[in-house]
Chains A and B, each alone.
Chain A
Amino acid sequence: AQKVTQAQTEISVVEKEDVTLDCVYETRDTTYYLFWYKQPPSGELVFLIRRNSFDEQNEISGRYSWNFQKSTSSFNFTITASQVVDSAVYFCALSEAIEYGNKLVFGAGTILRVKS
Chain B
Amino acid sequence: GAGVSQTPSNKVTEKGKYVELRCDPISGHTALYWYRQSLGQGPEFLIYFQGTGAADDSGLPNDRFFAVRPEGSVSTLKIQRTERGDSAVYLCASSSGLAGGQQYFGPGTRLTVL
B79 at the interface (CB under 8 A from A): no
Residues B105 and A45 in contact, CB atoms below 8 Å apart = yes
Does B25 touch A at the CB level, under 8 Å?
no
Q: Total number of A-B contacts with CB less than 8 angstroms? A: 73
| Contact A97:B48 (CB < 8 A) given known A45-B91, A109-B42 | no
- Min CB distance B112 to A, Å, is 15
Q: Output the least CB separation between B81 and chain A (Å).
A: 26
Q: Complex: how many Å from CA A37 to CA B107?
A: 14
Interface size class of B (residues with CB under 8 A): 20 to 34
Residue B1 at the chain A interface, CB threshold 8 Å = no
Closest to A91 in B: B42
The interface of chain A, by Cβ under 8 A from chain B, is 4, 33, 35, 37, 42-45, 47, 50, 52, 91, 93, 95, 97-109
